[in-house]
Structure 1
Amino acid sequence: MDINDKKDIVETSFQRKGSIRRVLPSSPQGDSLLNVSARMVSNSKPSFPKENYSQFFLEYNLISEFNMVSRFREKYSGVYIIPSAESSLVWFGIIFVRSGMYEGGTFRFQIFFTDQFPNGGSPTIVFENSVFHPAIHEVTREFAVRSFFPEWRKDVNHVFQILVILKQILHCVDARTFEPVNEKAAELFKSDKAAFQSRAKQDVAASKELLYSSSSSSGSSSSSNTYTSDPHYIKFSQFDPEIHENVLSLKDTKPESVSISWVQPGSLEPFSKPQY
């Protein structure tokens, strides 16, 4: 066999027969694997329902909001916030008013979020006890968030901004800067500031009496607080010398200074200090 015969055999062996398109074998039902794969892609769904994603986004947004509350704490000193241990949609808060007509008041409140936050509108703030103020509803004790944030805008408005305003309106009453929700309080503030302050001081005195109480009862408009059993509910106890005296004594205790230098004072030589 000469070289030309070998060349013909090689060319014949590697010669393409039929279409270049590779045909996949059929499935047992008679459908090609290519069609089966196409249907699998078109009919594919997430491994869990779509609505579960919204729960992840809700938790993420709430965590982000609380981080911002912690970061900007100096803007609303005297206000303290902690999320509920039982529901991330409820936060507990308390404000210590240090000046103005409500000076000395300690007012507890709750912040409520919708399960659509931040797309479902602004959070709701409800005080536990009566606060006679133009921006706080007399019956529901709800703070008029919408008077300051008519449209809650995602990524623009945040909870810490509400807390800043909450502190401002309790330290300095000025019903001209917002739409009142307590008309009686607004009218009294305009007509007789002395009478208004007298009424505000009644709520201040009541808040002090209820500071150590686990009940939110305050007159006829109150109801029992359903959150006092929550481990994160903000509670206070009376001063007990046996418990708290030891804590106060630690306030004036200064820790011993610990040297972290290995250089003898007055020397530039490393590790020249005898004891390091």
Structure 2
Amino acid sequence: MSTTSRGGKSLSTQPMQNINNPTHQTYGPFFLEYSLMAEYNLLRAQNLPGIYVIPSARSPLVWFGVIFLRHGLYQDGVFKFCVLIPANYPDGDCPRIVFEHPPFHPLVDEKTSELDVKRAFPQWKRNVNHIWNILLFLRRIFFKIDTNKSLNEEAAELYEKELTAYKAKVVESIDASKLHLYDPPKTDDPYEIRFVPKEEKLHETRKQAMAKSIREKADGGNVQRRGYSWVAQGMPVLFSKLQNTRTAT
């Protein structure tokens, strides 16, 4: 399965191979879809800071993502990436992370733009490792620099010996990524993450709607109170409910 780019290229997701188990052949596609839905729900529950991910509309094996970095050496960095999932997930190899415009980093290959995920997950363990673990690793590499067995030797050497020069190269990679942030989508997928220039009129309308909602909540709005309270006023009765009484005349 693959997602086709506008240039005719495709994001390979490594088609299913050598699966001889009859049960897997019968229920494989349904099990894969269920597994990936569960993985995405787990990811949403983690609420990883600065990371936004959405599955492709064309293939469940491609997830589009972007990471915002707010402090550290890579402060103000914005990097778009793809998560490429093996077709025999979760029994196959480790999912991959490929950047659209790679950051200058010892663990990111400048030629392929791929992150060395296998460093943290040399063997993918079903029901132990999850895609959110990979994204957490992605976030950590920007705050804890590991130069051991690097994919980018220049980055590793500069970080160890010339930190000032390393920082300058990092800033260059951040600027390069931002320069292409508003480029047209690389694929024909409607769910690919894309950025558009700020529209003052649209933002002002949304801002006013949000402010109105906040004011209404602060004022109590028209919220109807129903059900039981913890205690009735003047009565030590738990979960009580006010009763309408009428006085006979």
Checking the alignment, whether the CA contact within 8 Å between 1:147 and 1:180 is kept in structure 2 is no
Query: 1:260–1:130: structure 2 CA closer, same or farther, 3 Å change rule?
Result: same
Equivalent residue for 1:93, pick from 65, 73, 84: 65
Please give the TM-score of this superposition, normalised by the length of structure 1. Answer: 0.70
* Matched ranges for 1:1-276 at <5 A: 51-73=25-47, 76-170=48-142, 172-176=143-147, 179-214=149-184, 225=186, 227=187, 229-253=188-212, 254=214, 255=216, 256-260=221-225, 266=233, 268=235, 270-271=242-243
- The separation in 2 between residues aligned to 1:96 and 1:232, in whole angstroms, is 19
Once the two structures are superposed, residues 212-231 of structure 1 have per-residue CA deviations (whole angstroms, 9 ceiling, x without a partner) of: 1125xxxxxxxxx3x2x211
Q: How many angstroms does 1:130 deviate by? A: 2.5
Q: How many angstroms does 1:270 deviate by? A: 1.7
Checking the alignment, whether the CA contact within 8 Å between 1:147 and 1:179 is kept in structure 2 is no
- The separation in 1 between residues aligned to 2:137 and 2:25, in whole angstroms, is 34
Paired letter, 2:40: F
Three-state SS of the structure 2 residue aligned to 1:208 is: helix
Q: Which has the higher Rg, Structure 1 or Structure 2?
A: 1
Unaligned runs of 5+ in 2: 1-21, 236-240
Paired letter, 2:135: L
Percent identity between matched residues is: 34
Q: How many angstroms does 1:267 deviate by? A: 5.2
User: What corresponds to 1:30 in structure 2?
Assistant: none
Paired letter, 2:38: S
Paired letter, 1:81: V
Query: What is the total number of aligned residue pairs between the two structures?
Result: 212
- The separation in 1 between residues aligned to 2:23 and 2:88, in whole angstroms, is 17
Query: 1:159–1:242: structure 2 CA closer, same or farther, 3 Å change rule?
Result: same
Paired letter, 2:223: V
Paired letter, 1:181: L
Q: How many angstroms does 1:271 deviate by? A: 3.6
User: What corresponds to 1:35 in structure 2?
Assistant: none
Query: 1:236–1:50: structure 2 CA closer, same or farther, 3 Å change rule?
Result: closer
Three-state SS of the structure 1 residue aligned to 2:97 is: strand
CA RMSD of aligned residues (A): 2.5
Once the two structures are superposed, residues 86-145 of structure 1 have per-residue CA deviations (whole angstroms, 9 ceiling, x without a partner) of: 111100000001111111111000011111111111001100003110111110010100
Unaligned runs of 5+ in 1: 1-47, 216-224
Larger RCO: 1 or 2 (CA < 8 Å, sep 6+): 2
- The separation in 1 between residues aligned to 2:190 and 2:145, in whole angstroms, is 37
Q: How many angstroms does 1:192 deviate by? A: 0.6
Q: How many angstroms does 1:272 deviate by? A: 5.2
Q: How many angstroms does 1:50 deviate by? A: 6.0
- The separation in 2 between residues aligned to 1:54 and 1:164, in whole angstroms, is 28
- The separation in 2 between residues aligned to 1:208 and 1:214, in whole angstroms, is 13
